Every structure is written in structure tokens, then in C-alpha cells.
Structure 1
Amino acid sequence: MRNDENLTNIVEVRDLKGKRCIISLAHMPYHPAGGGQPGDSGTLEGEEFLGDVRDCLLVDGRKFLDVHIIKGVPKVGMKVKASVDEERHRVLSRMHTGEHILSRVLETEIEGLRVNKVNISEEESSIYLSYDGNLDWEKLFSAEEKANEIIQKDLPVYVKNLTKEEAKAMKDLKINIDRIKGDTVRVVVVPEFDLIACSGSHVGSTLEVGGIFVTGFNGSPPNWSVSFTVHVDKYLQNYSKAVRKLMRKIGCPLDKLESVFASLQEERKNLSNAMDKARKYICLPWEKDSFGDADFYYALVEGALADMCSPAVKKKVLESPKSIVLCLFKDQASEGSARFIMARGESCNIDVRDFLKGSPTLKAKGGGASNWVQGITECVSMKEWRTALQKYYKI
């Protein structure tokens, strides 16, 4: 059993800079980072000294603590009480054992799948894998179900320390022997299920994991990532709330949700295609002014999308090479601001980006090139835009 309060001495202090330092203790109750898992955290407390332990690192076989100093100065020889955040340690241990179970199931059930690395954290963890096929929810639901069956079997989980030669001789051991530093190999065993070299912390039985809930997956062949959590009840409740709200908004029963969503996606795709075809027929209500040799065409449009109207802007600058073209797209839902497109013809000498940077009264932000900028502005008055252009041309 771990003891979260240990009296010990500081034997080394490194890199003391401001409120941060690296500390080594004579007795170290903290588990170091390794196997994709962060190190333990906690506190160090001594006479007129208090430090927040952010991480525990293994360097050349020695444990060191990354400490944020709350008060005082740590000194070699100082007696301190080393306290481990046991709740966090427990969660990380559950996560890591859960990852071993889910990873083993994925590799066993999906032919050709190979786990490459993992990232263990307190709330949600990730498994990074190689698989030439297509990963989908049905495969992951099946793996999740089988992983939870293993958890419910209450199989023992224990650690064996072996020599490299013993490890090489062990059948079915998953290990990258070239990555093992030192002469000892730490092996985590789940009898008749999993055997893998690992430096992370683990619980004493599969039942202690609690459960596995796959939260998502990303990627494409051959590189994928799968995210999961052991906080099953919390995540089931959150996902249930989200689904029930969505069902209410869409207006369909649970068993129809997937098909209705697929129909909505298809409708959106068709609408997008129709809008693409319609864009070239859009005409804007241009008004005209002049600044020196340049013509200024402008339009204030309400309720239209900038992307829908961009072909009309392009057409205008092509028709009038010496022109400056401005279109403001005012949305009633966004009072006091508007999307904009500002462009110039190829024979016009204005740099649109420089003009906007030099006109702070327009409060316009956007991106683009010297001849075309799109963005958002807090100035929806065409009079203010004309005044800014007059200043630019010194009229």
C-alpha cells in the first residue's frame, strides 16, 4: 500500500530559477513519467518551505521532481514531507491498465492493427495505431464491449522485473527491447490475456479499472488515434444529455437519428452544389464614385453570404481594371459589424492591405493579398469608407 505522507531529505537541488527547480529526495514515493503516462504530482513541505510537485522524471536511472516553489527556498539536507496526490495517481493507474486492455483487444480483434504509442491523462487518454483498413464505430463498439468483459472478469494485474535475457525468452511478450535502458525490464502481466513491457503505474486487478468508454477516433489509413476514458458514468450522462437535446431539435426518435442526420448531410451537400451553380448569376446593386483615376464601386447587401457574392466582386474588377470595389454584408443578427470584401482592378495602384492598415477608423480585420481582402469590420457606413479613401488619395 502506498503512503501519501513520507518524511525524507532533499539530496539535490538543480536549476533553481525563480519559483521553479528540480529536486531529488533520499526516498521518493512518486512514480516517474513513462510509458506515455505523466509522473506523479503532490507537495513537498519542510520548515519554512512549501513546493508544488508538478511532475516526476526519471533521468539516468534517478528520480527527480519538477517543483514550483510556493514559499521558502529548498536546500540540500532539508527534511521534507513528500505527499503524493493519490487521487490523481489512482486515476492515471486506472487509465493505464484500461489502455492495456483496450489496446490488446484492438490488436487481437482487428487483423493488421498495431498500437504504436499511447498518451495517458486524467480525463481522457489516446491510443495511436497503424491500420491499413478503415476504422469505424462498429469495430470500436465491439472492442469496447470486449474490453469491458475483460474488466468484469476481475483478472489480477501485477508487475514482474526481469533481466533483458529473461524478457527476450518470454513468449508473447510485447516489447521493443532496443528502447529499454538499463538491465531490468519491467513487465505488466494480466494472466492469460496481456503481457507487455511498461514503466507506467497500474491497478491491482482489471475490475479496479471500472470500465472503458470509447469517446472518438480520428485519422485515415494507416495512421489512426482512438480516445477513451474510464469515467464511464460521467461520459455516458454527458453524451446522453447531448443526444437527447439533438433529438429534440431534429425531431426524431433515437433509432432514426443516424438516418435522419445522413439525410440532412445529403440535403446540405445538394444545397451547397446548387448555391455554387447560382453564384455566377448573382448581381449586386453597385453604386459608383471616383477618386482620381480610380472608380469606386460599392454595395451594401443585407442577409447575403460573402462567399456567394465573391464572383460578382471578381466580375466587377475584371470589367473595370482601374476600379476599387467594396461590398459590405450586413447581418441583422450582428449589429454594429459586417463582413466585407475589398478588391481592386489590375490597373489600380492601391494596395488594399496597406489601405486597411492605415485606416484605423474602419476597424477592419481580415486577410488576403494586395488586390483582395476579406474580413470583418465594425464600420458599416459607406460614408466613412469614402472618407477613408479620400484621405488615402489625399483628395
Structure 2
Amino acid sequence: MPDPQYNSHNKEEYPPMHTAEHIINQAMCRLFDTGRSINAHVERKKSRLDFHTTQPMGDKEAQLLEEEVNRIILQDLPVTYLTTTRQEAEQYDVDLSRIPHDSSEAVRIVQVGDYDTCLCIGSHVAHTQQIGRVEIYSNAYDPERARWRIRYRLYESDPTFDE
């Protein structure tokens, strides 16, 4: 495949925080069967994710999620990339529905070890221990919207990303 042409990206992510988002999303899928986040605001110092769920969620679930995410981070999984076509990406069980119809044919799949696989053009760490430790410092369940919002931050991230 010639050099891929991706759609332009609207943001410069902080790689440890962005990779943590991938792990949190997969942990939510595995622990609570929510699917990936429906809304994300990922920043260097703190981030927020919203998940659709009719199951009331609270501190107990936040603690379980935090423990699972940090367990995965400590495994020091490699973060790898695969550039492929949309058609070939179907074999990786990734959600292609969010790709605009007028976007490029090339897509990039990001894999966090064998734990998470998804489409992404963002910046990531090379291996999960560079993330540091995730702390979910607040959560709120909104039954009217069937939405659980978590807010998280990182501690002890690899300092090379701060340069």
C-alpha cells in the first residue's frame, strides 16, 4: 500500500491519556457490556468519558473499572498500528460506522496488546506502562439520559511525554 493519506486530525492528544482512554473503553465493554464511550473529552490533566447504560453505576463500578484499567496497564502491553483499507479493516471487528463517507480509503487500527483494537488516528504510547496509573476521581449516573460519566486523571506517566 502506498503512503496512506488519513483525514486531518483536529487535536494533539497527550499520548498517555489517549491510550488510557482506549483501555478504559475496552474495560467498560468487558466489565459492564456498555460499548465504547458515546462522548469523550480527553485532555492532558484530566479527561471525561460518557457511556450509555441503563444499569445504574456508581462508586463501586468506578473502583472496579479503575482496578481493571490499572491491571491492564501494569501488563506493559505493546501499542501497535496497522494501516489498511476500510474493506480489509472489517476482519478486525472494528466500528467503521463513524468514518465519514467522503474520508480516505486508508484507515489506521490501533491495538493495545491483545486487549483492545479500534480505529484511531491519535497519538499513543509505545507500551502501556508509559501511561502511569489511572485514577477515576468522580462519576455520575444520569438515569434520564441513561448515561454514566466518569472523570479520570493520570499519575506517574512517563516524563518523556512532558517535553
TM-score range with shorter-chain normalisation? 0.7 to 0.9
Q: Paired residue for 2:100, among 172, 175, 179? A: 179
Q: Normalization by structure 2: what TM-score?
A: 0.81
What's the counterpart of residue 146 of structure 1?
68
Secondary structure of the structure 1 residue equivalent to 2:37: strand
Q: Is the 8 A contact 1:124 1:227 kept in 2?
A: yes
Secondary structure of the structure 2 residue equivalent to 1:134: coil
Q: Judging by fraction of residues, say which structure has more strand.
A: 1
**How far apart are the structure 2 equivalents of 1:133 and 1:113?**
13
What's the counterpart of residue 123 of structure 1?
45
Q: Is the 8 A contact 1:162 1:186 kept in 2?
A: yes
Q: 1:188 to 1:162 in 2, by over 3 A?
A: same
| Identity level (%) | 24
What's the counterpart of residue 209 of structure 1?
131
Q: Deviations over 1:263-315 (max 9, x none)?
A: xxxxxxxxxxxxxxxxxxxxxxxxxxxxxxxxxxxxxxxxxxxxxxxxxxxxx
**How far apart are the structure 2 equivalents of 1:220 and 1:163?**
38
Q: Normalization by structure 1: what TM-score?
A: 0.35
What's the counterpart of residue 27 of structure 2?
105
Q: Paired residue for 1:94, among 16, 20, 44? A: 16
Matches within 5 A, 1:351-362: none
Q: Is the 8 A contact 1:174 1:195 kept in 2?
A: no
Q: Shift of the alpha carbon at 1:117? A: 2.7
Q: Deviations over 1:20-77 (max 9, x none)?
A: xxxxxxxxxxxx644xxx32xxxxxxxxxxxxxxxxxxxxxxxxxxxxxxxxxxxxxx
What's the counterpart of residue 90 of structure 2?
168
**How far apart are the structure 1 equivalents of 2:85 and 2:25?**
25
**How far apart are the structure 2 equivalents of 1:215 and 1:33?**
29
Q: Which ranges of 4 or more aligned residues in structure 1 deviate by more than 6 Å?
A: none
The amino acid across from 2:97 in the alignment is: N
What's the counterpart of residue 3 of structure 2?
none
Q: Is the 8 A contact 2:82 2:109 kept in 1?
A: yes
Larger Rg: 1
Matches within 5 A, 1:44-59: none
Secondary structure of the structure 2 residue equivalent to 1:122: coil
CA RMSD of aligned residues (A): 2.0
What's the counterpart of residue 193 of structure 1?
115
Matches within 5 A, 1:251-330: none
Q: 1:224 to 1:135 in 2, by over 3 A?
A: same
Provide structure 2 residue ranges, at least 5 long, that are not aligned to the other structure.
Answer: 1-7, 158-163
Q: Is the 8 A contact 1:112 1:132 kept in 2?
A: no
Q: Paired residue for 2:155, among 202, 221, 231? A: 231
**How far apart are the structure 2 equivalents of 1:231 and 1:175?**
33
Matches within 5 A, 1:30-49: 33-34=9-10, 38-39=11-12
Secondary structure of the structure 2 residue equivalent to 1:230: strand
Q: Shift of the alpha carbon at 1:100? A: 0.6
Q: 1:177 to 1:162 in 2, by over 3 A?
A: farther
Q: Shift of the alpha carbon at 1:202? A: 0.3
Provide structure 1 residue ranges, at least 5 long, that are not aligned to the other structure.
Answer: 1-31, 40-88, 234-395
